[in-house]
């Protein structure tokens, strides 16, 4: 392995765990996950502390995650995962938050009062996965017509809408 790659890998390993430690030191206990291949720390948090963790990460002087650039849902079969990508423009850091939800009641608190960008991202996730965001200011479909039945990115979705006839081969 080249010295450049070895040095880069060592630096990534140092960065991993930094935000976990900050949160845990402030009584916001989270479960760390593996980091991404480019060294971004991934934290698994409980739905019950999502708002508190997001607010802390945004307002704490040592983290200052002022940008939410993505909220997405993932259907893993028996559960859903909500994935939040945060960025600190002051420190040039990224962090990923993952929250697992029960498939039978996919509901979580909205972050739209903390990050304005969450508004449309949460609406898209609701529209495509059926995940409800409590306290969202305008939770309604954003991509599909209001009369659409179901949520097309769920694994159990059945495409039987006549408007999709053009897609049959």
Q: What is the pLDDT of residues 147-162, one digit of tens each?
A: 888 899 999 888 777 7
Q: Round to whole Å and give the CA distance between 98 and 81.
A: 6
Quote the pLDDT of residue 21. 73
The CATH number of the domain covering residues in 3-163: 3.30.460.80
Contact assessment for residue 41 and residue 35, using Cβ atoms and an 8 Å cutoff: yes
pTM over 0.85: no
Q: Helices (DSSP H) in the chain: which residue ranges?
A: 3-15, 18-25, 50-59, 118-129
Residue bearing the bigger pLDDT, 22 or 100: 100
Mean pLDDT, the chain, rounded, equals 85
Quote the pLDDT of residue 27. 65
Confidence label for 13 from pLDDT (cuts 50, 70 and 90): very low
Q: Where are the domains of the chain?
A: 3-163
Cα–Cα–Cα angle for 100, 104, 109, rounded to 5 degrees:
50
């Amino acid at each position: 392995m080249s010295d450049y790659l070895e040095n880069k890998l060592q630096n990534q390993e140092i960065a991993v765990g930094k935000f976990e430690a900050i949160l845990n030191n402030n009584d916001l206990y989270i479960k760390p996950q593996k980091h991404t291949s480019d060294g971004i720390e991934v934290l698994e948090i409980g739905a019950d502390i999502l708002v508190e963790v997001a607010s802390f990460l945004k307002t704490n002087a040592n983290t200052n995650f002022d940008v939410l650039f993505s909220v997405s849902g993932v259907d893993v079969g028996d559960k859903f995962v909500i994935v939040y990508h945060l960025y600190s423009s002051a420190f040039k850091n990224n962090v990923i938050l993952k929250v697992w939800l029960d498939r039978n009641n996919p509901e979580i608190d909205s972050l739209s009062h903390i990050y304005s960008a969450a508004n449309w991202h949460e609406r898209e996730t609701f529209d495509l996965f059926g995940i409800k965001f409590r306290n969202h200011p305008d939770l309604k479909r954003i991509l599909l017509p209001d009369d659409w039945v179901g949520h097309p990115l769920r694994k159990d979705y059945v495409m039987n809408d006549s408007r999709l006839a053009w897609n049959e081969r």
